[in-house]
């Protein structure tokens, strides 16, 4: 019985260690752009539309550096309070965190108005 209990504890610890190893540390990108749409009008409560400059060090879902060209695309904010006070047309600088594991995700974790960005 004791051997079974020890084997069970060992298997659980291996499993939990594997789960912890499956999560990645992620990547962080500083992105400049212009607010083109805010939440509402069919957008999710945490979704903004930003026309952004190129992101040269952007990684794909496999973790390869592929870069991203300038474009207008939706971004999801981790905390909607970070976009309070922003308006359409505001030039912004935002920090986007990307995680590849356990599920691919990207979220704006901070955003602030700046004086210059792609219009």
| 94-103: pLDDT as tens digits | 999 999 988 8
Q: How confident is the model at residue 5 (pLDDT cuts 50, 70, 90)?
A: very low
Q: Is 44 part of any domain?
A: yes
What's the number of domains the chain is made of?
Answer: 1
Q: Is 54 part of any domain?
A: yes
Q: What is the pTM of this model?
A: 0.76
pLDDT tens digits for range 65-96: 999 999 999 999 999 999 999 999 999 999 99
Q: Is 3 part of any domain?
A: no
Instruction: Examine the pLDDT at 14 and tell me if it is beyond 90.
Output: no
- Domain residues for 87? 25-113
Q: Is 96 part of any domain?
A: yes
Q: Is 17 part of any domain?
A: no
Residues pairing with 30 in the sheet: 95
The answer to whether 89 and 35 are in contact (CB under 8 A) is: yes
Q: Is 33 part of any domain?
A: yes
- CATH number for the domain harbouring residue 57: 2.40.50.320
Q: Is 1 part of any domain?
A: no
- Residue 73 CA neighbour count, 13 Å, CB half: 15
Percent of the chain with pLDDT over 90: 67
């Amino acid at each position: 019985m004791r051997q079974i209990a020890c084997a069970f504890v060992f298997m659980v610890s291996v499993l939990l260690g594997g789960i912890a190893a499956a999560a990645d540390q992620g990547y962080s990108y500083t992105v400049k752009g212009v607010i083109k749409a805010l939440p509402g009008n069919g957008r999710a409560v945490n979704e903004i539309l930003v026309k952004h400059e190129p992101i040269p060090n952007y990684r794909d879902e496999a973790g390869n550096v592929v870069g991203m060209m300038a474009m207008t695309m939706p971004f999801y904010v981790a905390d909607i309070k970070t976009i309070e006070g922003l308006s359409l047309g505001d030039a912004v600088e935002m920090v986007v965190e990307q995680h590849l594991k356990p599920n691919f995700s990207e979220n704006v974790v901070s955003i602030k108005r700046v004086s210059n960005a792609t219009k």
